[in-house]
Chain A
């Protein structure tokens, strides 16, 4: 799955390399900058994958946590060991967390590497028009990856809860992915403006704050609080469901 994610920036870089120049202002933001500076491949890769690819993979990983074991019939053997259900749940969520952290990092670093290989690398122009040295730009790439990792925490908690509801892993995965799409659709409806700050996908594209000079941390902080809330609520739901569940498989 990580390999599939790594393929996204590679595809972007190769496509841009082979095609003619992208006129400014067309296509996803930053696409036109890639030819000037390869480091933008990482940013573009993350920007392109946050609406669908990343939630998809996170949904698969998080939806598989408990339901996967149940589907294979191994869940009861795991619980025979004197580890306890809470510990199993925590370990499973930790696994999903690690994926949330690693996935955007993979996109960012693969993107930066392939970009550096195919395009020139120089001072990076921020949205504000200021330029920063490549080393600092890599730091910002990692910051953006961290921002996205935080953004995906809420979704992974939802996936964990879904996973405790069913013994069919595909059901949990699909439900999680569908929820992420629904959340984004609701976020796009201006009539539901009051709801927007409460949607877990609301700040997903807010990482542009990290590409300005000076860096704005407002969106990072609001995002972290929101995701923490989702983790708490769905973590509690998953706990309650899992410890009361009759494990039959």
Chain B
């Protein structure tokens, strides 16, 4: 009998050993050298003067905005109709390669598909493997230092930020966020965190306003070189982060230069675009509404946009509400809703219009064709919409 029990030992020991191994492996790496204490200003300065411009890394983005999650399984890739909405819901992984200010490649890794943004000097390429299409823009000399906007993604982070690039590197996002800091925000430095295996300062921004939906924003800043490594936005009354963007792996140093040389493969539909007269993404909320192929301006948006009135901004700081009237045939609320059936389902009717509600951002589409966007409760949007 004992012999029999003994022979069942491996069946018990092996799972136990594996469980122990997993438990040990998942413990946070303790006893790393703590970073020297720094004040929030010093951490901000560290960010401002960081000089990392060659890197390759993997970025993981997670959203929990309270939008319906779209199933993403199965061997076939998601349909193009849902492409921009699915960027807002569910997790995404992207690989980022950067070498100097003018060479950059972002690969958004989809199941069995990939979307690429490649910039090499003045050449800017957008490639989608799903429908094998590419867009090519030759940038003018002037904007050679800045990458114009491409994908809606992070707009819900906070209205009032001119968001630009798709799957932005944490560095880009944080720079913008810090530039917007004003007395409305309480800044502190939390305990050190570990991001992508690096020890980082944790800069925590808490809105002083009680009205905004944003609970806090935390930014991990690499203790060695000041590179922002992660961004996390907490919504009020929600335990998990509403939005997070973080490097899961990062290596400094110039990536293979062949990565930045892109030419469309044969069989690709290539669309030549003129560079926009002004930087895209100048208005918050604009980037949320690209054409169905996911390219702002690709179906006449940038042309039709000029006759739309300037946005009307009310409130300040975290309570900023941006309202604009949509006009012309290029973009109107009804047309937009008709194009995006999923969006339509996520809308809730309220007095005076319809509301798209997320845990960080509310969007009010009024019946008379205006759109109000703000990180505030719906009631504040409604009162902003009422003419005074």
Residues of chain A whose beta carbon lies under 8 Å from any beta carbon of chain B: 24-25, 27-30, 32-33, 36, 47-48, 50-51, 122-123, 125, 127-131, 187-188, 190, 205, 208-209, 212-214, 216, 218, 229, 232-233, 235-237, 239-241, 243-244
Contact = CB atoms under 8 A, between A and B. Distances in A.
B76 A187 contact: no
A214 B116 CA distance: 13
B137 to A, nearest CB: 15
B131 A232 contact: no
B259 interface: yes
Interface in B9-43: 9-11, 13-15, 18
Contacts of B262: 129-130
Given A36-B267, A229-B18, A128 B71 contact: no
A30 B73 CA distance: 16
A25 B265 contact: no
Nearest to A239: B10
Interface stretch (B105-113, B144-152, B185-193): B105-113
Given A212-B114, A233-B15, A188 B71 contact: yes
Given A128-B114, A129-B262, A129-B264, A27 B130 contact: no
Interface string B45-80: 000000000000010000000000101011111011
A142 B142 CA distance: 47
A128 B134 CA distance: 11
Interface string B244-288: 000000000000100100101111100000000000000000000
A237 B11 contact: yes
Contact of B265 (A29, A125, A187, A244): A125
A236 B17 CA distance: 12
Nearest to B256: A214
Highest count of chain A CB atoms <10 Å: which of B14, B15, B74, B256: B14
B113 A127 contact: yes
B76 A27 contact: yes
Interface residues of B, number: 44
Contacts of A241: 11
A208 B112 contact: yes
Contact of A240 (B11, B107, B131): B11
A128 B107 contact: yes
Highest count of chain B CB atoms <10 Å: which of A28, A36, A129, A187: A129
Contacts of A208: 109, 111-113
A123 B125 CA distance: 20
A127 B129 contact: yes
Nearest to A206: B111
Nearest to B90: A190
Given A24-B130, A127-B129, A233 B14 contact: yes
Given A240-B8, A240-B9, A129 B71 contact: no
Interface string B95-124: 100000000000101011110101000000
Given A128-B129, A188-B73, A240 B10 contact: yes
A238 B129 CA distance: 44
Contact of B127 (A24, A129, A237): A129
Contact of B18 (A130, A232, A243): A232
B8 A244 contact: yes
A46 B4 CA distance: 43
Given A128-B129, A233-B18, A240-B9, A29 B266 contact: no
Contacts of B388: none
29 contacts: A28-B75, A28-B76, A29-B75, A29-B77, A32-B132, A36-B266, A50-B75, A127-B113, A127-B129, A128-B107, A128-B116, A128-B127, A129-B262, A129-B264, A188-B71, A205-B111, A208-B111, A208-B113, A216-B95, A229-B18, A232-B14, A232-B18, A233-B14, A233-B15, A236-B13, A236-B14, A236-B15, A240-B7, A240-B11
A25 B71 contact: no
A244 B77 CA distance: 48
A122 B266 CA distance: 10
Contacts of B131: 24-25
